Amino acid sequence: MHIPDGFLSARVWVPLDLAAAPAVAWLGRRAQRDFDHHRIPLMGVMGAFIFAAQMINFPVGNGTSGHLVGGALLSFTLGPAAASIVMTAILAIQALIFQDGGLLALGANVFNMAIAGVLAGYLPYLLLKGRKYGIFLGGVLSLLVSAILALVELALSGVPMPRAVLTVSVALFVVSAVVEGAITVAVVGALEKIQPGFLRRPAANGGSARIALALAASVLACAGVFVASQHPDGLERFAQKTGIWSNAKSVVHSPLADYQMAGGHWIGRSIAGLLGIGIVYLVCRVATRALSQRPGEGS
């Protein structure tokens, strides 16, 4: 789902980069204005959990995998504006430190997943008043919107779109979206069992759900390598089929590229995952401090 550098033409990624920055700034102001202080302790652990979950690919058929994106889940727990800020932080860290998604294409990935995906996921939840099928549809719609936007951006960049390849890719994205919806429902259900009323007041009852999320993030980062599918994700498979995968390039080079570091395959990936959730947690906590201040405070 993360578009690397080399796939999009400058006429596509430049406007998206220029548009993403003010859009995220506006969402930051909106989040600050509407910020629910009961959610202050939650932003860091939610960011860490989504980062860890995105590392775990699951098979969706035809030698292709998918992974939780988590935009809808973030929007249900944090509110859409704060969720967009957290997802933007995750995407920026993935691009800068782990070379997952391009640095030049960061604006496109932010627009697709942190803005459009988050808002699309929140809409069914809002309209259906938080019912279970609204949660499911939110997860489905969030991923589908992000995937379709990525395909549109690739088409605008001149990437060939053979009908057979496009049909199979869209079908696989639909499967991934259904799995995203199911996982979102399962996670929300588990959190509500651990901490009744979690979505309404996440800080209630001592934060047991936050502890569960932190533990889950650590387990996913450490042990996820043993269960994660090694097949390429939907976007990577599409790029392979259309012949543009060789265009992928890295603007920055990091020792943690591809969530790896020295020390062996699973050990290196586990250490990189733990470092990642720690970095995301700290960045989200800094964002929380900024959002919790009302405009004019601290000046």
Residue 177 domain-assigned? yes
Rounded to the nearest 10°, the torsion over CA 123, 128, 132, 134 is -30
- What tokens appear for 126 in the block? 């809002």
Residue 61 domain-assigned? yes
Residue 186 domain-assigned? yes
- Torsion-angle region of 222 (φ positive above 0: left; ψ -120 to 50: alpha; else: beta): alpha
Residue 299 domain-assigned? no
* E strand segments, the chain: 57-61, 64-67
pLDDT, tens digit only, all 299 positions of the chain: 899 999 999 999 999 999 999 999 999 999 888 777 767 778 999 999 999 999 999 999 889 999 999 999 999 999 999 999 999 999 999 999 999 999 999 999 999 999 999 999 999 999 998 899 999 999 999 999 999 999 999 999 999 999 999 999 999 999 999 999 999 999 999 999 988 888 876 555 457 888 999 999 999 988 887 888 889 999 999 999 999 999 998 888 888 888 887 655 778 888 889 999 999 999 998 888 887 776 555 44
The count of domains in the chain is 1
Phi, psi of 230 (to 5 degrees): -95, 0
Residue 298 domain-assigned? no
Q: What is the reported pLDDT for 299?
A: 43
Q: How far apart are CA 211 and CA 217, in angstroms?
A: 10
Q: How far apart are CA 149 and CA 90, in angstroms?
A: 19
- What tokens appear for 151 in the block? 């395909």
Closest CA to 130 of 69, 214, 191, 207: 191
Residue 137 domain-assigned? yes
Residue 100 domain-assigned? yes
- What tokens appear for 131 in the block? 């019912």
Are the CB atoms for 204 and 194 separated by under 8 Å? no
Roughly how many angstroms between the first and final C-alpha of the chain, as a whole number? Answer: 40
The string of pLDDT tens digits covering residues 10-44 is 999 999 999 999 999 999 999 888 777 767 778 99
Q: Any idea what the CATH number is for the domain that residue 251 is in?
A: 1.10.1760.20
Residue 190 domain-assigned? yes
Question: Helix, strand, coil: what percent of the chain each, to 5?
Answer: 70, 5, 25
Q: What is the reported pLDDT for 205?
A: 45
- Torsion-angle region of 50 (φ positive above 0: left; ψ -120 to 50: alpha; else: beta): alpha
Are the CB atoms for 216 and 194 separated by under 8 Å? no
Range of the domain at 39: 10-292
